[in-house]
Structure 1
């Protein structure tokens, strides 16, 4: 049984990963009849969650920690044709980062999105099937990649269960916000 309220509490809200971390993302909400996702760390503890109480594909969702504290709010720009603005902790003054579709890459057959975090740039691209993706920094280094999860015996789990590998020296909450936007883009939440 998964630990919902672990005895040892670790705050992931603005934490840099000094080691590579592997997460499990279950594209289901903990709330009955709600859309969203639940993110577990490598110990099986819930560390992040997204609960979308509205209909699937809504224009606004919140990324929260285990205690329900809002880490960021994600808004879809209705006139932006694939644009997303992400605000820290329900602050709507200035976007933490923005995501927009790369139409130039679509012409080459790749589904990619550009992410602007201040002066930093990232690229998120879908690879292989519907659920596999990777996040690349401006230097071309892969900082995180997600794919369909396999059990320890090699059995492929459902397409709503993903493994996310995050490289060292990366802000966990930033990567989880990227992944949340990806889930919304793909219509998974």
Structure 2
């Protein structure tokens, strides 16, 4: 198997350095926790340094997922809305100790074929979409657009290395300058919850 991350997983790349770059940041997302008996995600920057992680123990809540930095500090908490018929999630800053979420994310539901996957609004302002997600998550080919139709993040398949192709558990996350890389990773987590073929692995 081709090497996914070139450097030690304990080295880290500060979140600020990702968001402040003048060029798009290319992250490698691995749908695997580095901890034994956990499921989740491990995310590396272009230099192979650990940037983000999601570690879900088997006894973890089915309705709450925490995105952490390399040191284990909570950046965002994703919590499913109670009594929600369709997929409806709230995003909190940090460990969700704040009384109010920051964002709401809903799965797009339509009887007709659509390239729309989900949309994000500011919590409490459900009528004003600030980010839309389109494409195919199962094919690792989708993008996030802001309210002016500018692409701020993209999910794509990882290129083969030395002739060895990666499966869908390893893919790229391209983040445009000025967009929060952590927030873009919350989109990945939510798309996995909504559309992932192995969604039960992350919830159980």
> What's the CA shift string for 1:80-138, capped at 9, x where partnerless?
2200111111224111111002224x523335101113666101123374432211111
Q: Does the 8 Å contact 1:15/1:173 carry over to 2? A: no
Segments of 4+ moved more than 6 angstroms: none
| 2:92 pairs with one of 81, 87, 90 | 87
Q: 1:107 aligns to what SS in structure 2?
A: coil
Partner of 1:72: 76
Give 1:3 deviation, angstroms.
1.7
Aligned to 2:177: 168
Q: Which runs of 5+ in 1 are unaligned?
A: none
- TM-score with structure 2 setting the length: 0.80
Distance verdict in 2 for CA 1:130–1:152, change over 3 Å: closer
2:134 match: secondary structure: strand
Q: 1:122 aligns with which of 121, 124, 131?
A: 131
CA 1:178–1:13 in structure 2 vs 1: closer, same or farther (change >3 Å)? farther
Distance 1:136 1:11 in 2: 25
Q: Which has the higher contact order (CA 8 A, sep 6+)?
A: 1
Give the corresponding residue for 1:137: 146
Given the alignment, which residue of 110, 114, 117 partners 1:112?
117
The structure-2 alpha-carbon separation of the partners of 1:128 and 1:86, relative to structure 1 and needing over 3 Å to count, comes to closer
- Is structure 2 residue 129 aligned with structure 1 residue 149? no
The more displaced of 108-117 and 69-78 is 108-117
Aligned residues: 186
TM-score w.r.t. the length of structure 1 is: 0.86
What runs of 5+ residues in structure 2 fail to find an aligned partner?
1-5
Moved more, 18-27 or 48-57: 48-57
Match of 1:16 in 2: 19
Residue number in structure 1 paired with 2:9: 4
Q: Quote the RMSD (CA, aligned, Å).
A: 2.5
Question: Structure 1 residues 56 and 134, CA, compared in 2 at 3 Å: closer, same or farther?
Answer: farther
Report the 3-state secondary structure (helix = DSSP H, G, I; strand = E; otherwise coil) of the residue aligned with 1:170: coil
Match for residue 182 of structure 1 among 172, 188, 191: 191
CA–CA distance in 2 between the matches of 1:14 and 1:150?
24
